[in-house]
Structure 1
Amino acid sequence: MKAPDALRVLAELSTSQWGLFTAAQAADRGVSRVTLARLVDAEQLVRLAHGVYRDAGAPTDQFEDLRAAWLSIYPKLRAELRLQPGSLESTPASGTSAATLHGIGDHYVGRFEFTTAVRRQSQRPELRYRIRELDPVDVTIKEGLPVMTLERTIADLVEERYDLSNVAIAIRDADRQRPLNEKRMVELLSPLAARNGLRRGDGVALWELLTELAGIDSGSTVDKVASDDLLGRLIATKYLAAHGITLDELLSRPLPSSDDPAVQRELLREVAHSSALGRRAKALGHV
């Protein structure tokens, strides 16, 4: 294919992909790697990464390398197909890559992180995959790319054992963009509480610790959780399961005698300030 014809084909291809395209996409349209190499030499194209190119006349920005890495994961698929809701190939940016897209925290990206529901391996050291079932509630679009939400991104940073003071900076930055969903934060942080020196499953305590480090008024997270029957019951159930009893079993027991307020307080606080238990505790004035 002659250069002018190739440039026309590539322009049509790259228009909906931030001015980028892959060698595999070009090959599907009849443009060979030899032609791509000649166009690079003629400064008509810019080679960004292995198998990914940019039209030399297309604008660039700080996220170009991340977009190129994302395109390279499924090099034959057009971006518009991967951006469709429910796509198994969406591979949203996660971890520090997501934090960079959201503009939160001081995380210097040494490699590109993506989440996928399908196990993948890469020979390229700059790419890292997290294998996880993708809950649609945790995925959004930022700067044209699929990315984990602010809430999921913050939880991922905690999971990766970043210093909590650094995570707190990300939380403060996120809070300036929009109010975080505290219920979702508690859900995501609950499995990470024990590794951070807190009671197992106590996502409320971990979230309050992080907001305190961030210098943010959590708005009485405990009260918010306690007022939500579904979330409160979920937290209490997870905590009690670790101790071999069910929430229904505990609720069927009589509350401790008011003659021993220390025992009352300990039991009621042990099951978190949540759901029916939280309201019963508050009614007695012990939490």
Structure 2
Amino acid sequence: MRQNEVLEVLESVASDQWGIITTAQAQREGITRLQLSRLADKGVLARSRHGIYLLPSAQHGALTDLRTAWVSLGAREFPDERWESEDKILVSHESAALIHQVGDLIPRRITFSSTTRKQTSQEDIYIYSNREINSKDIRNVDGLPVTSVELTVSDLAEKKIEFNYLATMVVDALRKENVRMKDLATKLNDAAESYGFSSGQQLVQECQREAASDDDREESIARYASLAEIARESLGAQMVTDLLKNNLYGSLPTASLAEIARESLGAQMVTDLLKNNLYGSLPTASLAEIARESLNQVSSKASPKSSEYQTNKKSEDIKKRQPPGYSPTPIDDEEELQADTGKTAKKENEA
């Protein structure tokens, strides 16, 4: 059999298998290991796993490794034969969550569930063996047998993943078409106690409260940013103060609060806000930044090193030396102040 004929046979039998072929499958079609090896050496085929090859028509993507892993666990059978068999190997747990796009768990290994006892020496694959899985909980996702969304979430809850991860997964699952809250809650009944709840329904409700969607969160941030911009550009300082006092911004990001305070409020107003703790739980770092940037004008005027402070002090000293009833003219007062200032400057130069 010529090379192009071998390739035609391989492409034909692997058309329903994402362009993936195994050595055992090829041998069933009369193609030897040596022929496969030669095609691989020429770059026509790509070696993926032991005894697994990718054809030129192979579908490359995020699920390629997962597909080749599934094929490798039933290397002799073709997909239609495996689907008809009672002994099934399904994508499950973290890998199923990845396929269904629920949650944000990153699988450390490719995870499968088998209805019989199944083992593998492949280190990147983990198999949950001897599982009883109802046919109603099996989904065909582009040719791959995958546990349903409800069972996938339940499986991971049984593993006692962290609650925040589970909450995100539950919220994502409920957005999926044909996933009903009642069905999901029923699946979670057994795992609910592990999280401190009496029922799956209670667990689902708490997950909904815990996990806000990323879209909603981004929308809130954008909305609050717009409010901050309006406050800075359109509102007077007193109105901004009132807004902060009444906490009308709700969960306005603290960075925006700090920016409003610095740009819209006077230094004294910021002082009052800080004294009365009107920022609530504003982080101390933000408070420090507000204090440094907004109160700098007040502190600089009160500093003994500032020229304004020294001039005012000189004026007060001169007034103390005047006799009772003395009312200096502006010129006298200015001349005496200049003279006194000159003496001070001379002493400083001599020193």
What TM-score, normalized to structure 1?
0.69
**Does 1 or 2 have the higher relative contact order (CA < 8 Å, sep 6+)?**
1
One-letter code aligned to 2:125:
L
- Check if 1:39 corresponds to 2:39: yes
Number of residue-to-residue matches in the alignment: 212
8 Å CA contact 1:74–1:89 kept in 2: the answer is no
- Check if 1:122 corresponds to 2:120: yes
Q: Say which one has the larger Rg.
A: 2
Cα distance in 2 for residues equivalent to 1:30 and 1:178: 44
2:21 aligns with: 21
Cα distance in 2 for residues equivalent to 1:152 and 1:50: 31
Richer in helix (by share): 2
Deviations 1:127-167 (A, max 9, x none): 11123111112111123211111111111111122112112
Q: CA deviation at 1:106?
A: 1.3
Any stretches of 5+ residues in structure 2 without a counterpart? Answer: 214-351
The within-5 A match list for 1:1-287 is 1-84=1-84, 87-131=85-129, 132-178=131-177, 180-199=179-198, 202-215=199-212
Q: Percent of aligned positions with the same letter in both sequences?
A: 31
1:284 aligns with: none
Deviations 1:23-70 (A, max 9, x none): 110111121222111111111111111221111243322211111111
Displaced runs of 4 or more, over 6 A: none
Any stretches of 5+ residues in structure 1 without a counterpart? Answer: 217-287
What TM-score, normalized to structure 2?
0.57
8 Å CA contact 1:168–1:214 kept in 2: the answer is yes
Q: CA deviation at 1:187?
A: 2.3
CA RMSD of aligned residues (A): 1.8
Q: CA deviation at 1:197?
A: 2.2
8 Å CA contact 1:190–1:203 kept in 2: the answer is yes
Question: What SS class does the counterpart of residue 90 from structure 2 fall into?
Answer: coil
Deviations 1:163-186 (A, max 9, x none): 121122222223333252223222
8 Å CA contact 2:158–2:191 kept in 1: the answer is yes
8 Å CA contact 2:173–2:179 kept in 1: the answer is yes
Cα distance in 1 for residues equivalent to 2:115 and 2:104: 28
One-letter code aligned to 1:142:
V
Question: What SS class does the counterpart of residue 125 from structure 1 fall into?
Answer: coil
8 Å CA contact 2:185–2:200 kept in 1: the answer is yes
2:322 aligns with: none
Q: CA deviation at 1:189?
A: 1.3
8 Å CA contact 2:170–2:204 kept in 1: the answer is no
Cα distance in 1 for residues equivalent to 2:141 and 2:193: 32
Describe the shift of the 1:179–1:27 C-alpha distance in structure 2 as closer, same or farther (beyond 3 A): closer
8 Å CA contact 2:14–2:21 kept in 1: the answer is yes
Cα distance in 2 for residues equivalent to 1:40 and 1:181: 48
